[in-house]
Structure 1
Amino acid sequence: MGLKVFFENNYLKANRRFIMGTIAYQSPVRKWTFEFWEGDLIPSDQIKLAAEIINQSFFTPVAFKPNSTRQDEASARIEALQRVLQTEISRNQEYEPLNVAKGLGRIHIIPKLDEHVEIGFNEILVLDEVPVQLPPVAGIITTKPSTPLSHINLLAKGWGIPNVYIKNAQELFKQYNGWWVEFDARRDNYSIKRADNSQLDEYQKRLKERLDVMKPRSDLSVTKLAGLSEQRASSVIAYGAKSANLGELIHARLPGFTIPPGFTIPFFYYDQFLKENQLDNAIYTMLNDQKFVHDPAYRRAYLTRMRNQIQQGRMNAELRAEILRRGHAEFPGQGVFARSSTNSEDLPNFNGAGLYTSMPNLRSDDQLIEGIKTVWASVWNFEAYEARERAGIDHMKIYMAVLIQEGINSESSGVMITADPFNRTPEAINRGSIYISAKRGLGMKVVEGQRIAEQVVFRPIANSVQVLTRSEEDSLLTFDEHGGIREIPIGGERAVLTDEVIRRLATAAAGIKKVFGGKDQDIEWAYMRGQIYIVQSRPYIPGG
């Protein structure tokens, strides 16, 4: 009997000789469960039969754990069936590694993270909540779960540091606060121990071996406000990675999704703006201020003043007129996004996720112009500066393009990668897996990692959808009619995506991966009125 016939007879057909599953103890909820492989198309009557037989012969009650949306729906119809959902298990989980790695640093327990808390690059942070942004650090431990595609975790992968969820971590690590430790985050567990002198000596030695300064490429001769359809991947040196990659996808003409239309203001105009407002000299002075270099609190305040100066600068009159002309012609009466697109993201060993600012739903002329200046100013976000400094990137060679793009007031949004970040085993069943996280409304909360998203894995070989978590959100973000976004409450735990939409997203992701040479991709998407929109694709960093 071949493998295909075996699968069909035992997992796909309703008329089967055997019911094949697993009984396991779920320690986070202290319950025994029986479950089936997520690709098993077992019908309701056989789930009920299995529950009856198992509970007649087992020494303690055994609940059913559905592993797919189909099993969830089939079992929900069975009267009196005791169930344990993956969401309940995840909620009570004590440890989850988001990026496995070893870190050496000083433990810093932070009950409440705000702009007044100073963070060192040599610290392993113990946080009570998932941050939206962080400067480079030696490790991240949070007491609230997050997702592997949050901006913070993408940065952690790029920095090669551990990033984990540990229940009650602030209490568990109280004895280590302020001490240098070695923290080893593994897939199944973690270890922490105080560092010895030899480890600290080796750390100081590595610190002195400064990386060669990286100078990202740019072409300041390009002055055209180019539509996305006029760009290709090679346009990155004038329009930045985000914009150029979207242009490449438009040229690929893949079915099943749409790229929202837009045009991009190239690097030339960021450079022009700085020079016309005498800000290039001000930036040079700032970067050579020795107190700025050595004092983090002073540096943070100086960068805030620099962003304010950029915001107050005057945009070139001809450029302003051309931007507004294009905006009125291409997006009449619509809100648009001003998206950051730099030459300092998606570089080797430097992801740049979440470091720069994008502005949503800009509706008036003033909102659009001020939004563009906000994006330009975000080159000097504290976290962006710190990350570039750690990576050895020349700050004076950084340029910001701005993508002006149709705003999609999405019903659901999220991120997906063309791999399963939780299971990197080489088994054939995992080949081509697509991980998807999703939330209702606009996608900011997903990429920021502020709330648990719905997380699923689609395995094309088995044509199965495995549900990892359901969304725990109690609100969603939507466009405000006056510009910007607003938050509105929602209720009830229910599926964000149907199996049909999941399969459509997975098909889109697989096609996008092929466009970029078969390299795994980290993709941001939106869904509205039956249409899938792709708003970003960047190389995925698998990390540890």
Structure 2
Amino acid sequence: MKYVRLLQELRREDLSLAGGKGANLGELVLAGMKVPQGFVLTVDGYRRCITDVHLPKINVHDLAALEAVTSKIQMEIENVYLPDEVMAEVLEAYRRMCCPKVAVRSSATAEDLPGASFAGQQETYLNIQGEDAVLDAIKKCWASLWAPRAVQYRSLQGFGESEVALAVVIQEMAPHEVAGVVFTVNPLLNDSCELIINAAKGVGEALVQGEIIPDQWLARRPDGAVLKFTPAPQKGQSSSLLPHTGRPARGCLTSQQVRELACLCLRIEKHFNGVPQDIEWSYGAGEFYLLQSRPITALKTW
């Protein structure tokens, strides 16, 4: 195939082809992690379909003007015609998966880099099912590359618009009784003796976007023993609830699950040459699924 690559075919050196998410998912498969099946519509697919985006010179701090320009670009992309050869490859790969519900995730080439965090700036669409719906979600992901916030951030980071393009990950929805994020070192203290696990019931997108307060565990490296547990506040309860210490973990994970997850994530960190990782995961049907891993880009150094 020319425009589509299966996750297991990708490696970290494929960043320019599959974007940060796609390349790192390939590495998770290589590391033996349980990763939901899927494929990537590569940057070549984006460039085949999106050929004439021209962003005029504009003051990126003028948000009203920026939004006016970018909204027009986004609308044009969402209505773009997909060439037959691109559409055929996407639909063939989706049909080989037996057309399940999928997550359609943006995977930018200027993403998850050591010096800049582009995480969350492009869109993700969950529980997408059906061929037309998948194709529409792909175009919406492409369009999100030109959202005002994304354009502004790239400009302030010194990335020229010719340097960026977007791959799209199409991946079967993992079981998601619980989902969350692991930081393999404490990002507040840069403490390599402990890691942080955040978790909530259901899919993890609201947690990743900072829309909800999760259960949180501070766990010891390397064995994942719980050092501190802070439950998510219940409705009508203050978020300043005092953490429980020296007690078994409660909430949406057991102490044993915390240990298992911690050990999995430390294996991932080791696979990425010991670089501290920000890892997205879900849990269901008795197993942990790994959904993404990226370097932690905002570690404190004091």
TM-score, normalisation: structure 1: 0.50
Alpha-carbon contact 2:188-2:299 (below 8 Å) kept: no
Measured in 2, the distance between the counterparts of 1:495 and 1:407 equals 23
1:363 aligns with 2:129: yes
Measured in 2, the distance between the counterparts of 1:382 and 1:229 equals 33
Residue in 2 that maps onto 1:334:
100
Distance apart, 1:388 and its partner CA = 0.6
Pairing of 1:270-419 with structure 2 (within 5 A): 270-275=46-51, 280=52, 283-284=53-54, 286-288=55-57, 290=58, 295-330=62-97, 332-419=98-185
Pairing of 1:13-28 with structure 2 (within 5 A): none
* Runs (5+) with no aligned partner, structure 2: 236-249
Measured in 2, the distance between the counterparts of 1:269 and 1:336 equals 19
Distance apart, 1:294 and its partner CA = 6.4
Alpha-carbon contact 1:434-1:509 (below 8 Å) kept: no
1:238 aligns with 2:4: no
Distance apart, 1:468 and its partner CA = 3.9
Measured in 1, the distance between the counterparts of 2:278 and 2:96 equals 32
Distance apart, 1:473 and its partner CA = 6.1
Distance apart, 1:450 and its partner CA = 1.5
Measured in 2, the distance between the counterparts of 1:388 and 1:354 equals 13
**What letter is aligned with 1:234?**
E
Higher RCO, Cα 8 Å, sep 6+: 2
1:512 maps to which of 268, 283, 286 = 268
Residue in 1 that maps onto 2:243:
none
Q: Deviations over 1:51-74 (max 9, x none)?
A: xxxxxxxxxxxxxxxxxxxxxxxx
Residue in 2 that maps onto 1:60:
none
Cα 1:403/1:333, change in 2 over 3 Å: closer
2:211 maps to which of 431, 441, 450 = 450
Residue in 2 that maps onto 1:251:
30
**What letter is aligned with 2:207?**
V
Measured in 1, the distance between the counterparts of 2:224 and 2:125 equals 38
List, as ranges, runs of 4+ consecutive aligned residues in structure 1 with deviation greater than 6 Å. Answer: none
Greater alpha carbon shift after TM alignment, 333-342 vs 261-270: 333-342
Q: Deviations over 1:394-444 (max 9, x none)?
A: 11221100111111240010000111234445xxxx62x221000000001
**What letter is aligned with 1:297?**
A
Distance apart, 1:348 and its partner CA = 3.5
**What letter is aligned with 1:456?**
W
Alpha-carbon contact 1:228-1:264 (below 8 Å) kept: yes
Measured in 1, the distance between the counterparts of 2:178 and 2:61 equals 44
Measured in 1, the distance between the counterparts of 2:99 and 2:157 equals 42
Distance apart, 1:461 and its partner CA = 5.8
Q: Deviations over 1:120-166 (max 9, x none)?
A: xxxxxxxxxxxxxxxxxxxxxxxxxxxxxxxxxxxxxxxxxxxxxxx
Residue in 2 that maps onto 1:263:
39
**What letter is aligned with 1:530?**
G
Distance apart, 1:259 and its partner CA = 0.8
Alpha-carbon contact 2:60-2:152 (below 8 Å) kept: no
**What letter is aligned with 1:301?**
A
1:465 maps to which of 226, 237, 247 = 226
Could you say what the CA RMSD is over the residues aligned between the two structures, in angstroms? 1.9
Alpha-carbon contact 2:183-2:195 (below 8 Å) kept: yes
Alpha-carbon contact 2:180-2:207 (below 8 Å) kept: yes
Where 1:504 maps in the other structure, the secondary structure is helix
Alpha-carbon contact 1:521-1:540 (below 8 Å) kept: yes
1:534 maps to which of 271, 282, 290 = 290
Measured in 2, the distance between the counterparts of 1:263 and 1:457 equals 34
Distance apart, 1:335 and its partner CA = 0.3
Distance apart, 1:227 and its partner CA = 0.6
Measured in 1, the distance between the counterparts of 2:34 and 2:297 equals 25
Where 1:268 maps in the other structure, the secondary structure is helix
Where 2:110 maps in the other structure, the secondary structure is coil
Distance apart, 1:377 and its partner CA = 0.6
Cα 1:398/1:423, change in 2 over 3 Å: closer
Cα 1:325/1:473, change in 2 over 3 Å: farther
Alpha-carbon contact 2:19-2:108 (below 8 Å) kept: yes
Residue in 2 that maps onto 1:434:
195
Where 2:50 maps in the other structure, the secondary structure is helix
Distance apart, 1:274 and its partner CA = 1.3
**What letter is aligned with 1:466?**
L
Give the number of aligned pairs: 286
Residue in 2 that maps onto 1:109:
none
Distance apart, 1:313 and its partner CA = 1.0
TM-score, normalisation: structure 2: 0.89
Measured in 2, the distance between the counterparts of 1:333 and 1:224 equals 19
Distance apart, 1:296 and its partner CA = 2.2
Measured in 2, the distance between the counterparts of 1:344 and 1:538 equals 13
Distance apart, 1:302 and its partner CA = 1.6
Alpha-carbon contact 1:439-1:446 (below 8 Å) kept: yes
Cα 1:333/1:402, change in 2 over 3 Å: closer
Cα 1:521/1:366, change in 2 over 3 Å: same
Cα 1:327/1:423, change in 2 over 3 Å: same
Pairing of 1:181-196 with structure 2 (within 5 A): none
Alpha-carbon contact 2:179-2:204 (below 8 Å) kept: yes
Cα 1:434/1:295, change in 2 over 3 Å: closer
